[in-house]
Amino acid sequence: MIPDILNFKWDELMAKITYVEHSGTEHVVEVASGLTVMEGARDNNIPGIEADCGGACACSTCHVYVDTAWTDKVPAMDGMEEDMLDFAFEPKPGQSRLTCQLRVSDDLDGLIVRMPERQI
């Protein structure tokens, strides 16, 4: 059977993510499923997420606060991310995440993340 590529909806592979700088400036971008929230910021030149280690969960400079409406919807964090968050600037239990560990999927369409005042 030939796949129905003419009716394939490419926008279903994208998630709209709102990045809010500490100043309040919002950036709303479409990020492809499979990328991380950090890569979405990097690829769209959004300031405030430095990602010094390139996504290896080894620097905590991709730290954000997940909007409270989304904290139960994002994938659970593993122990490595939890440990690395100890080095983040003013982490907030239940809201702080490392964006390099948040994989984008349809489920994250509409996600809102806020940057801390600074990274580390």
Instruction: Tell me which residues touch ligand FES (CB under 6 A).
Output: 38, 51-53, 55-62, 84, 98, 100
Nearer to ligand FES, 13 or 58 (CB): 58
Nearer to ligand FES, 15 or 100 (CB): 100
In order of 14, 25, 57, 79, the CA distances from 10 in angstroms are 7, 28, 30, 34
Nearer to ligand FES, 14 or 51 (CB): 51
* CB 80 to ligand FES: min, Å: 9
String of b and e for 96-111 (b: at least 16 CB within 10 Å)? bbbbbbbebeeebbeb
